[in-house]
Amino acid sequence: MFSISKDYAPPFKMIEPFFKFGAIAYLISIISFLFFNVDVSLLDLKVVGWVHMFLLSFVMIVIFGAMAQLIPVALEIGHYNVDYYKPIFLTLSIGSVLMVLGFWINSSLLPYGGAIVLVSMVLFLYETLKTLKKTDSNTLTVRCIKGGNIFLTVAIVIGFLMALSISLGFNIDFNRFLPIHIVLVLVGYVTITVIGMSMILLPMFGLAHGYDGSDVELSFKILVGSIILFSIFRLLAWNMLSYIAIVSMLVGIGLYLRQLLTLYKVRARKINDIWYMHIYTAFISLAAVVVLVLLWLLFDSDAILKTALWLFLIGFFVFVINGHLIKIIPFLVWFERFSPLVGKKKVPMLHEMLPSKEVDISFWLSLAGLVSGALGLLYSSDTLFKGGVSLLVFGALFMLKTVNFILDFKPEE
């Protein structure tokens, strides 16, 4: 008999702010895109500030909130202490706002914001590692959570040192450390976490069984190896070898995509609902990123690099996150408010808790915005880029409306 955790769902009130804050931060970060032109330098502090707002206030905060729910599901054990998520939210939300203000307005705020974000990350890492210690399980998902968190630790230490150097003026070689920081966060933490959780969530939602998982196993090993090698090569300024490590990462991502294709073929749930549409967009974007990064390595084109980053951040991250928000939040609300009513009165199905019109509008506007924005960056057209961003703004507004609708969904009196 399989042992059953009593802590599969964290207290709803504790997790709710992560999603509310994330949806608002997503809207603000998309609106702020309107103030950028396609020829902006990627090293401009305005861009760096935007990236931190997007990654910390939206991506990380939603991932952390989702992990409060997903870690027990993935590991089949309860949290070490789920109460840690209260200070994690508080410090991450305050720290990320201070960091963005530090990049945009007053650099003296950077070390304070950076230090508070560091505290948040340390709390998250501590809680996650203590939870991991409770299990002997060594599934791919467990290894992804472990690996991702180790990469995140190194990334935030490097990030904090860079934040200190900007505000205090001491010398640090950004050419060496910035690429390592970027790769550790984007690939080492976010992508590896997505890979780990997707191997639980995609078969669960798609009802996929009896498939061969060797592609994703190999993908994980290649990614971990190439991230470590990339970091060492950049540190030693062996730039040519670091490009080989990037190609190796692309091979790892390619294998992961092939694994997804296998899952797609064996899934029992073949109806293409709005969750599937988000997932298709996310992974087609990721496939396009692989191709574009290869082209960038060959042609060293700024426009290609910007398009790849756009598709990675907006195409992959946004769609994979928003797609899962419309799965995870209804479940948490249902679990909190409706599960005690089962057998006593009629309870809604999870899909009935979604405002289907708003979700559809959000998806299609965002998809159109993604494509237009990508073409704008590729062909250096401000008109196409800003047109795309405008569509994304409306998509984000509808997503915020959707999140609020689900969070307010209550049983009829």
Partner 1 sequence: MCSVTKEQVYDELRTIIDPEVGFNLVEMGLIYDVEVDDSCNVVITMTLSTKACPLHQMIHQWVEDAPKRIDEVNEVTANIVWEPEWNISMAEDNVKQALGSL
The residue ranges that bind partner 1 (CB under 8 A) are 1-2, 4-6, 8-9, 69, 72-74, 76, 200, 203-205, 207, 209-210, 268-271, 331, 334-335, 338-339, 342-343, 347-351
Which is closer to partner 1, CB of 30 or CB of 332? Answer: 332
Which is closer to partner 1, CB of 70 or CB of 361? Answer: 70
Which is closer to partner 1, CB of 317 or CB of 334? Answer: 334
Sorted by sequence, the CB contacts under 8 Å of residue 327 that are 6+ apart come out as 201, 205, 275, 350
Nearest approach in angstroms of CB 116 to partner 1 is 31
Identify which of 375, 225, 223 has the alpha carbon closest to the alpha carbon of residue 288. 375
Nearest approach in angstroms of CB 333 to partner 1 is 11
Q: Phi first, then psi: give them for residue 286, nearest 5 degrees.
A: -65, -40
Identify which of 219, 279, 221 has the alpha carbon closest to the alpha carbon of residue 250. 219
Which is closer to partner 1, CB of 177 or CB of 338? Answer: 338
DSSP 105: T
Which is closer to partner 1, CB of 32 or CB of 198? Answer: 198
Nearest approach in angstroms of CB 198 to partner 1 is 12
DSSP 39: T
Nearest approach in angstroms of CB 46 to partner 1 is 41
- What own/partner pairs with CB < 8 Å and gap ≥ 24 does 99-108 have? 99/49, 99/52, 99/56, 99/163, 100/49, 100/50, 100/52, 100/53, 100/56, 100/57, 102/49, 102/163, 102/167, 103/45, 103/46, 103/48, 103/49, 103/52, 104/45, 104/46, 104/49, 107/166, 107/167, 108/167
Rounded CA gap, 406 and 240, in Å?
50
Which is closer to partner 1, CB of 5 or CB of 239? Answer: 5
Nearest approach in angstroms of CB 348 to partner 1 is 7
Which is closer to partner 1, CB of 69 or CB of 390? Answer: 69
Which is closer to partner 1, CB of 13 or CB of 270? Answer: 270
108: its two tokens: 């003296």
Nearest approach in angstroms of CB 323 to partner 1 is 15
Nearest approach in angstroms of CB 138 to partner 1 is 15
Q: State which amino acid sits at residue 409.
A: F
Strand partners, 267: 208
Which is closer to partner 1, CB of 272 or CB of 383? Answer: 272
Q: Which runs of consecutive H residues, i.e. helices, occur in 207-353?
A: 214-235, 239-266, 274-299, 302-310, 319-333
Rounded CA gap, 225 and 170, in Å?
32
Rounded CA gap, 104 and 52, in Å?
11
Nearest approach in angstroms of CB 319 to partner 1 is 21
Nearest approach in angstroms of CB 322 to partner 1 is 18
Provide the CB-side half-sphere exposure for 361 (13 A, CA). 15
